């Protein structure tokens, strides 16, 4: 008997993306959201939070490569890194591949996401057992408000600005991020879709402009998020994401990647004209 189950993510009232499901591996509801892990036919295991696709095994490397290696290769010597969110573990996995990183603190609000991924998606979560990762189950907003640590790079690996992730798009949060960054610190954040959520990008970049001297947007392609083209914001106290990027560092690192590379690093900051027009005055690209 063949499964006739499909999972569909709907965007507003005019777009749907469907995936063939072979097996439901986990389904639960935490105090924050529903959490599901399914085995799909064409995209491997998939994590959904509140019915929204977070990760698939087939293309997760694109997101995790670009959210982590871009800032870590711009900063000359990142030693102490903070990841807010990222409960699947993929971002922390990429962070600790950098030999300069001595410690990666990961603050995830929902233990159910972490546990479900540890059980069912080791491709992203296996690195969470590494001794350099300090996993804290807690509120990232409160953490940056209370911490006395200074971080070289902060990565905000959040969901869309709804539910538990909503405060991660606010000015109060980014003022606290600024305060717990080192003097040459960088923050990169999940930056939504220029096709479908430019209003959210505009709002987030206005916040970053109010807090940081320089703000940028860069993009990558993927298979599973609406529109295919997705973005991250890059804000820094000091470094320019392409001028202060040395491509030779990528080669010298000895690291190999499935998506990221040195030419792509620079190219990702070259934006389509409709994006530059929509974000005029908000980005320094």
Write out the catalytic residue numbers.
157
Separation of alpha carbons 192 and 222, rounded Å: 12
The structure tokens listed for 189 are 């954040």
| Nearest by Cα to 185 from 149, 145, 157, 160 | 149
Separation of alpha carbons 264 and 122, rounded Å: 27
Separation of alpha carbons 235 and 29, rounded Å: 34
| Nearest by Cα to 221 from 233, 231, 229 | 229
The structure tokens listed for 216 are 């940028």
Q: Which residues of 45-59 are buried (b: 16+ CB within 10 A; e: fewer)?
A: bbbbbbebbbbbbbb
> Can you list the pairs that 95-99 forms with residues at least 24 positions away whose Cβ atoms lie under 8 Å?
95/68, 95/155, 96/127, 96/130, 96/132, 96/133, 97/255, 98/72, 98/253, 98/255, 99/253
Q: How far apart are the first and last CA of the chain?
A: 54
């Amino acid at each position: 008997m063949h499964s006739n189950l499909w999972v569909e993510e709907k965007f507003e009232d005019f777009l749907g993306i469907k995936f063939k499901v072979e097996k439901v591996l986990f389904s639960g509801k935490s105090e924050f959201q529903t959490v599901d892990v399914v085995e799909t036919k064409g995209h491997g295991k998939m994590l959904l939070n509140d019915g929204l696709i977070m990760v698939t095994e087939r293309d997760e490397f694109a997101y995790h490569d670009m959210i982590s290696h871009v800032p870590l290769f711009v900063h000359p010597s990142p030693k102490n890194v903070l990841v807010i969110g990222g409960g699947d573990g993929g971002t922390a996995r990429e962070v600790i591949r950098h030999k300069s990183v001595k410690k990666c603190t990961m603050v995830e609000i929902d233990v159910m996401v972490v546990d479900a991924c540890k059980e069912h998606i080791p491709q992203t979560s296996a690195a969470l057992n590494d001794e350099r990762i300090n996993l804290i189950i807690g509120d990232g907003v409160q953490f940056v408000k209370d911490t006395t640590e200074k971080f070289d790079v902060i990565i905000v690996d959040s969901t869309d600005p709804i539910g538990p992730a909503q405060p991660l798009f606010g000015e109060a949060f980014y003022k606290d991020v600024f305060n717990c960054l080192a003097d040459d610190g960088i923050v990169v954040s999940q930056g939504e879709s220029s096709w479908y959520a430019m209003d959210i990008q505009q709002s987030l970049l206005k916040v970053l402009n109010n807090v940081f001297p320089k703000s940028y947007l860069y993009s990558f392609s993927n298979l599973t998020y609406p529109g295919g083209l997705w973005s991250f914001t890059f804000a820094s106290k000091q470094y320019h994401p392409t001028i202060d990027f040395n491509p030779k560092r990528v080669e010298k690192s000895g690291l190999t990647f499935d998506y990221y590379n040195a030419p792509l690093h620079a190219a990702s900051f070259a934006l389509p004209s409709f994006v530059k027009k929509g974000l005029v005055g908000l980005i320094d690209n």
